Structure 1
């Protein structure tokens, strides 16, 4: 069974990477962490990801968190992790072509135009039988 730590680490691997490229590999993360002064091996990262190792040092947790640009709390605080997971899901959805196009076109619109766009999206959601606001929305 995969530990919470492994599950959360894998979620970061799957979703936190530059747009237009595949997720980071264990080798890339090990090289980046070693390059920043934290000694870690590719096999150890693999063991953390598959749940064979479940108790990394605070320094390893901090180095992984820094690499993926989250707080170390992500690995241990369920409430913080839920917020980050929600944001990661939004990020993942925004990588989709349609939402990326929409976001790019809405980026520098006035506040009034953004409100109109939001109202239109809510109307479209209702017309498709969806709630006006997604249930996991943080609004």
Structure 2
């Protein structure tokens, strides 16, 4: 069994699965070294080890530059990496979610949401808890300013 042979689950490994699907669909056996070298020629500093870590799930949140470079190399849109497969083999694109992110006015919030993709359920709950606490703190601060 290939170390990159696995199926998506609820732990946020959609990126990993989709990246490996691209490697498998290449029509020939691509190596991590070959992909990293090709991407580096276009200005993205990426190592063969990092590509391997992305494929194995050891790294889950590539930078915008790496995501863009991988999408360009494989000739797919960036959101390809975050679509999930139905059990029937079809792809369910998250068009509504993508439209929501695209409609956000600040790049910081877009970046924040992009970084949240791939986090485990436990870490997403932690992130939600922190966001609620921060939101409550700002609301309380704003209420005391109005008094």
SS in 2 for 1:27: helix
Q: How does 1:21-40 map to 2 (within 5 A)?
A: 22-40=28-46
TM norm structure 1 = 0.51
Q: Which string of whole-angstrom CA distances, capped at 9 and with x for unpartnered residues, describes residues 87-132 of structure 1?
A: xxxxxxxxxxxxxxxxxxxxxxxxxxxxxxxxxxxxxxxxxxxxxx
1:66 aligns with 2:72: yes
Q: Which string of whole-angstrom CA distances, capped at 9 and with x for unpartnered residues, describes residues 16-36 of structure 1?
A: 24xxxx221100000000011
1:14 aligns with 2:18: no
RMSD (CA atoms): 2.3
2:91 equivalent in structure 1: 82
The runs of 4+ residues in structure 1 deviating greater than 3 Å are: none
Q: How does 1:125-136 map to 2 (within 5 A)?
A: none
What CA distance in whole angstroms lies between the structure 2 residues aligned with 1:77 and 1:15?
16
Q: Which runs of 5+ in 2 are unaligned?
A: 1-5, 94-147
What CA distance in whole angstroms lies between the structure 1 residues aligned with 2:74 and 2:66?
12
SS in 2 for 1:56: coil
Preserved contact between residue 15 and residue 82 of structure 2 (Cα < 8 Å): yes
Q: How does 1:107-118 map to 2 (within 5 A)?
A: none
What CA distance in whole angstroms lies between the structure 2 residues aligned with 1:36 and 1:75?
20
SS in 1 for 2:91: helix
1:56 aligns with 2:62: yes
What CA distance in whole angstroms lies between the structure 1 residues aligned with 2:37 and 2:92?
29
Preserved contact between residue 15 and residue 23 of structure 1 (Cα < 8 Å): no
What CA distance in whole angstroms lies between the structure 2 residues aligned with 1:49 and 1:77?
16
Q: Which runs of 5+ in 1 are unaligned?
A: 85-139
Q: CA deviation at 1:48?
A: 0.1
CA spacing shift, 1:41–1:76, aligned 2, 3 Å: same
SS in 1 for 2:45: coil
1:123 equivalent in structure 2: none
| Higher normalized contact order (CA 8 Å, seq sep 6+, divided by chain length) | 2
